[in-house]
Amino acid sequence: MSAFVALANLAWAGAVSTVQYNFTGVCSDCTGNGTGVLTLLDTYVPGTQIGPSFQSFTYSSNLVPSFSITSGDPNLFIQNSNPYSIIPSNLPGFANVFFCGGTGQEIHCFQSTTGSPGTNWSVCVGPNQCEDFGTNGTWSAAVAGVPEPATAVLVGLPIALLGYARKRRARVLGNLIR
């Protein structure tokens, strides 16, 4: 019994919790908006550098094929000097963010910089060949969704096993008393 509980707790400890921030910017060169999702570890504190918590960033628009930059990219670069790469605590709002990642010829860079009237932003292959750009880019905290079924199993399994052990123990004790 304790082996099952230990296994379930080990699986739960290995799960990585994250928080997401959405980016939406009005395209100057494409139709509609450019959108992105920044995923950070849930230990991220708004107002601090995103570098240590960075997990991934996914971007798409009608002009640029969807791409992702992940923490495992060999060419990952995050500008971690002030005022860059800080998601503010007062969202929705603007943020100065710059990071690059990818492999081989497909190294993408994303940048949003605050200014007036809002945030200018760009997506480039490498640091200088811009594919997409625009204005009024805003960041917002993503609404927490329903947990995945695997999460429910990892939470519920130890509780169910403890209930089973208690019921079995009561049955064994009941047989001993008779």
User: 61-110: per-residue pLDDT in tens?
Assistant: 998 888 999 998 988 999 877 677 888 888 888 888 888 898 767 788 89
If pLDDT is split at 50, 70 and 90, which confidence band does 126 have?
A: low
C-alpha triplet 82, 85, 87: angle, nearest 5°: 110
Q: Locate 24 and state its tokens.
A: 């939406």
Distance in angstroms (rounded) separating the CA atoms of residues 178 and 68: 66
Burial letters 85-116, b for 16+ CB under 10 A, else e: bbbeeeeeebbbbbbbbbeeeebbbbbbbeee
Predicted TM-score of the model (pTM): 0.70
Boundaries of every domain in the chain: 18-141, 149-177
Query: In CATH terms, is domain 18-141 a member of 2.40.128?
Result: yes
